[in-house]
Structure 1
Amino acid sequence: MYKILVSFFFCSTLWANEWQDLERFLPPGTQLSYLVVDAATQKTVVSHHANTLRTPASVQKVLTALAAKIYLGDDFRFETSIRGSRDKISLGNYQGSLSFQFVGDPTLLRVDIRKMLLRLKSLGIKNIKGDFLLNSHAFNGYQWSNGQAWNDLGVCYTAPSHAIIVNKNCVLGNLGRGDGKTASLFIPPYEPMRISSDVQIVSVEEKQKAFCDLEITRHENNRYHLWGCMVPRSGAFPLAFAVNDPFNYAAEIIRSELKRVGIKLTGQVREDSAYLVSDKLVTHQSITLDRLLLQMLKNSDNLIADSLFKTLGAHYFNTSGNFRNGALALKLILEKQGIDLGNSYIVDGSGLSRHNLMSSKLFMKVLNYIYKHDKTLHILASFPIAGKDGTLKYHRGVHDTLLTEKVIAKTGSMKGVSNLLGRVSTARGDMLFVVLLNAYVPLKSASVSVLVSKDHFQREFLKRIVLLGND
Structure 2
Amino acid sequence: MWRSLCVCSAILMSVVTAHAIHASTFVDKLPNSTRSATLIESLNDSVRYQNTENQNQLFPPASTLKLVTALAAKLELKESFRFKTRLTQHNNDFVIHFSGDPTLTNKDLKQLLSSIPKHQKIHNIWLDNTAFSGYDRAVGWPWDILGVCYSAPASAITLDNNCVQASIYTQKNGSTRVYVPEHQPIYVSTLAKSVSKTEQESTLCKLELTSSQENHYQLQGCLSQRKKPLPLKFAVQNPALYTQRITSGLINQLQLSISGEVKVGTPSTQGRTLAVHQSVSLDELLEAMLKKSDNLIADNLTKTLGAHFYHQPGSFDNGIEAIKQILFSRAGIDIEQTPLADGSGLSRNNRFSAQNMANVLRYIWQNDKQLGLIKLMPYSGQSGTLKYRKSMRKAPIKGQIIAKSGSLYGSHNMAGFGLDKDGRPTTLFIQFVTDYYPIKQSNKKKTVAPIIQFEKMFYQEVVKFSQAIPKT
Cα deviation for residue 433 of structure 1 reads 0.3
Q: Does structure 1 residue 79 correspond to structure 2 residue 84?
A: yes
Q: Helix, strand or coil: the match of 1:106?
A: coil
Contact 1:400/1:459 (8 A) holds in 2: no
Change over 3 Å in CA distance of 1:342–1:134 after alignment to 2:
closer
Question: Mapping of 1:279-294 within 5 angstroms?
Answer: 279-294=272-287
Partner of 2:214: 221
Cα deviation for residue 220 of structure 1 reads 2.9
Q: Helix, strand or coil: the match of 1:120?
A: coil
Change over 3 Å in CA distance of 1:353–1:221 after alignment to 2:
same
Cα deviation for residue 276 of structure 1 reads 8.5
Partner of 2:128: 135
Inter-partner Cα distance in structure 1 for 2:268 and 2:363: 37
Q: After TM superposition, what 4+ stretches of structure 1 lie above 4 angstroms from structure 2?
A: 11-17, 273-277, 446-449
Cα deviation for residue 111 of structure 1 reads 0.6
Change over 3 Å in CA distance of 1:232–1:447 after alignment to 2:
closer
Contact 2:23/2:51 (8 A) holds in 1: no
Q: Residues 152-190 of structure 1, C-alpha deviation per residue, up to 9 Å, x if partnerless?
A: 000101000000111011111111123451112111011
Alignment counterpart, residue 458 of structure 1, candidates 444, 455, 460 = 455
Change over 3 Å in CA distance of 1:125–1:423 after alignment to 2:
farther
Partner of 1:334: 327
Question: Mapping of 1:117-156 within 5 angstroms?
Answer: 117-121=113-117, 126-128=120-122, 130-156=123-149
Partner of 2:434: 438
Contact 1:33/1:437 (8 A) holds in 2: yes
Contact 2:16/2:465 (8 A) holds in 1: no
Partner of 1:33: 37
Identity %: 34
Change over 3 Å in CA distance of 1:276–1:246 after alignment to 2:
farther
Contact 1:160/1:244 (8 A) holds in 2: yes
Partner of 1:8: none
TM-score, normalised by the number of residues in structure 2: 0.91
Which amino acid in 2 is paired with 1:444? K
| Gaps in structure 2 of 5+ consecutive residues | 1-14
Inter-partner Cα distance in structure 1 for 2:115 and 2:429: 50
Cα RMSD between the aligned structures? 2.1
Cα deviation for residue 15 of structure 1 reads 8.6
Cα deviation for residue 464 of structure 1 reads 1.2
Partner of 2:170: 177
Partner of 2:314: 321
Alignment counterpart, residue 68 of structure 2, candidates 63, 87, 102 = 63
Partner of 2:380: 386
Contact 1:56/1:356 (8 A) holds in 2: yes
Change over 3 Å in CA distance of 1:103–1:386 after alignment to 2:
same
Residues matched between the structures, number: 449
Query: Which segment is superposed worse, 353-362 or 333-342?
Result: 333-342
Contact 2:95/2:266 (8 A) holds in 1: no
Change over 3 Å in CA distance of 1:449–1:63 after alignment to 2:
farther
Alignment counterpart, residue 104 of structure 2, candidates 98, 105, 108 = 108
Q: Helix, strand or coil: the match of 1:119?
A: coil
Inter-partner Cα distance in structure 1 for 2:269 and 2:308: 16
Q: Residues 120-146 of structure 1, C-alpha deviation per residue, up to 9 Å, x if partnerless?
A: 22xx65320x21111100001000000
Contact 2:404/2:416 (8 A) holds in 1: yes
Cα deviation for residue 364 of structure 1 reads 0.5
Contact 2:59/2:353 (8 A) holds in 1: yes
Which amino acid in 1 is paired with 2:262? V
Contact 2:85/2:101 (8 A) holds in 1: yes
Q: Helix, strand or coil: the match of 1:352?
A: coil
Partner of 1:43: 47
Q: Residues 277-315 of structure 1, C-alpha deviation per residue, up to 9 Å, x if partnerless?
A: 632211100001000001000000000000000000011
Q: Helix, strand or coil: the match of 1:362?
A: helix
| Gaps in structure 1 of 5+ consecutive residues | 1-10, 89-94
TM-score, normalised by the number of residues in structure 1: 0.91
Inter-partner Cα distance in structure 1 for 2:410 and 2:459: 20
Which amino acid in 2 is paired with 1:137? T
Inter-partner Cα distance in structure 1 for 2:136 and 2:268: 19
Alignment counterpart, residue 344 of structure 1, candidates 319, 332, 338 = 338
Contact 1:311/1:321 (8 A) holds in 2: yes
Contact 2:41/2:50 (8 A) holds in 1: yes
Query: Which segment is superposed worse, 205-214 or 439-448?
Result: 439-448
Inter-partner Cα distance in structure 2 for 1:134 and 1:459: 50
Which amino acid in 1 is paired with 2:235? A
Q: Does structure 1 residue 409 correspond to structure 2 residue 406?
A: no
Inter-partner Cα distance in structure 1 for 2:116 and 2:266: 22
Partner of 2:253: 260
Inter-partner Cα distance in structure 2 for 1:275 and 1:404: 57
